[in-house]
Amino acid sequence: MKIRILLITFICLLGSLPAFTQMESEPNNNFDDANILSFSSLSVTLQGSIGQNGDNDYYAVNIPFSGVFEVRLSNVPSNIGGRIWMYNANRNEVRDIDGNNGQPIGLNQLVCEPGIYFFRIGDSNNSGFNSLLYTLNITLYTSDIYECNQDFSTATSIALGEEIRASIYSRNDNDYYAVEIPRAGVLEARLDSLPPNIGGRIWMYNANLSEIRDVDSNNGQPVGINQLVCDPGTYYFRINDSNLSDSSPDLYRFVVRLDTSDIYECNQDFSTAKLVEVCDSIKGAIYSGGDQDYYSFMAIQEEQIGIKLLNVPSNLSAIIRIYNDVQNLLVERSGSNGQPLLVNFNPSYTGLHFIRIQGTSNNSQLYTLYLDQENCVTNVVNTQYEDQITLSPNPTTSILNIHLPVTTGKTEIYLTDVSGKRCLQKSVQGVEQATLDMARLPDGVYFISFVHEEYTTVRKVLKSSR
């Protein structure tokens, strides 16, 4: 077998692609006579011609690792319809592409196996020929270090919070990633820095390879998924062009994080409802599409409970529903974006009840759910107002001066002793200043509670006659 070897000299200036210096070497009309190109710089440019009817030019390159072949045929003579065939080391065709007479053509092809690949150049009609020279460039792109991750079995394992820089390059490229989740939470997957011709798309799958959801975007626009996951284990993400029609060597950015700030997830239904004690508070979040939080509580017949939803995120319109022990709806309340909700609930029986919280959007910021009753001493705070409440003098001998936040609506003020007994009570509205007269109360420690539709908090005050 006689194989003619064409050596190509590379000239690289400031990172530019190498220029051609030699012609093809005929005959190179079949695999055995293919010109073997020096490919140490992963790029080669040469010239050749379709010099006679039925002429085909074969070239071979040997690559050391996987990457994306970018093959471009230009300066095609006007009577030649250029055609490129690509073959693997076994001489099986990988793909081919052709063009109109005189038009440049190209192909991008992901290759996952190192070794020899062949390229064949000819006239697409197999009838034209011309002594004028065409130009052929072959480049191997290796900037996507995660290739080849084309399916579940070859998915690249990534860590939570790890920034991935990769590309959708070659026709119908799909990039698969696998991430281990140690506990329940909301998975945040973000895809950005997309090339302007790529519409990003993300699929998410569970450990059984069943699709959970997918989301896509317009060309060049970022896209993301927030998805509640209740089972620890492996989850997969698949990325490609949403139109399945384009590619680019430019790198996108992909990051997966796990938000575990809502420690009571997954409380997605009645069976997983989280128990809340009366006079206690709990924090949660409506985060990820379709998220809803269920809570349970014990109530005593005819003893009113104030069910308060505070610190509602500004983009969240919250909905509270209360159910009886057989899951029948009793009460429903809804609010505007960022507004707290208050439900004064009078139980008709003693026993188990449920609360269901939903929102018209989602936000990772935590809300506060508080179950209030007459004798509760609470420390639930809307942080917006925490520093605006002042008490003076403290200790006091008689009159306690209170500075309140500037708000609309009524503020209830309760003073209780250490046993929980209510000693004083006052209701104010639309004022910044209030007073309590503690002159007749025994010396000691007291708790002063402030209950408003936008905040609920408690402070300690000392009564001393000295």
| pLDDT, tens digit, 9 for 90 and up, residues 242-298 | 888 889 999 999 999 999 999 889 999 999 999 998 888 889 999 887 889 999 999
Give the C-alpha separation, 337 to 253, whole Å.
32
Residue whose token pair is 């936000």: 363
- Asked which of 116-120, 121-125, 141-145, 420-424 is least confident by mean pLDDT, the reply is 420-424
Which tens digits make up the pLDDT trace of 57-80?
999 999 999 999 999 999 999 999
Quote the strand ranges of 290-388, DSSP E. Answer: 293-299, 305-310, 318-323, 329-334, 341-345, 351-359, 367-372
Mean pLDDT for the stretch of residues 318-337: 93
> Residue 378 has what pLDDT?
52
Report pTM: 0.71
Give the C-alpha separation, 392 to 76, whole Å.
90
Is the predicted pLDDT of residue 466 greater than 80, yes or no? no
Give the C-alpha separation, 16 to 8, whole Å.
16
Is the predicted pLDDT of residue 18 greater than 60, yes or no? no
Which tens digits make up the pLDDT trace of 203-231?
999 999 999 999 999 999 999 999 999 99
Is the predicted pLDDT of residue 7 greater than 60, yes or no? no
Is the predicted pLDDT of residue 136 greater than 90, yes or no? yes
| Residue bearing the bigger pLDDT, 455 or 65 | 65
| Residue bearing the bigger pLDDT, 58 or 170 | 58
| Residue bearing the bigger pLDDT, 420 or 165 | 165
Give the C-alpha separation, 430 to 411, whole Å.
9
CB atoms within 10 A of CB 110: 21
Task: Give, as one character, the DSSP assignment of residue 194.
Answer: -
- Please, what's the b/e burial string for 275-288 (b: 16 or more CB within 10 A of its CB; e: otherwise)? ebebbebbbbbbbb
Nearest by Cα to 261 from 179, 368, 164: 368
Q: Could you give all domains of the chain from N- to C-terminal order, each with its CATH number? A: 5-141 (2.60.120.380), 152-259 (2.60.120.380), 272-372 (2.60.120.380), 386-463 (2.60.40.3080)
- Asked which of 173-182, 291-300, 373-382 is least confident by mean pLDDT, the reply is 373-382
Give the C-alpha separation, 82 to 107, whole Å.
12
5-6 and 43-48: which strand pairing? unpaired
User: What's the chain's average pLDDT?
Assistant: 88
| Residue bearing the bigger pLDDT, 244 or 356 | 356
| Residue bearing the bigger pLDDT, 406 or 437 | 437
Give the C-alpha separation, 164 to 441, whole Å.
66
Give the C-alpha separation, 231 to 266, whole Å.
9
> Residue 13 has what pLDDT?
30
Give the C-alpha separation, 180 to 236, whole Å.
9
Residue whose token pair is 């003073």: 415
Is the predicted pLDDT of residue 194 greater than 70, yes or no? yes
Mean pLDDT for the stretch of residues 426-439: 89
> Residue 4 has what pLDDT?
36
Is the predicted pLDDT of residue 20 greater than 60, yes or no? no
Q: Quick check: 399 and 435 in contact, CB under 8 A?
A: yes
Structure tokens at 348: 């008709």
Q: Which residues pair with 51 in a beta bridge?
A: none
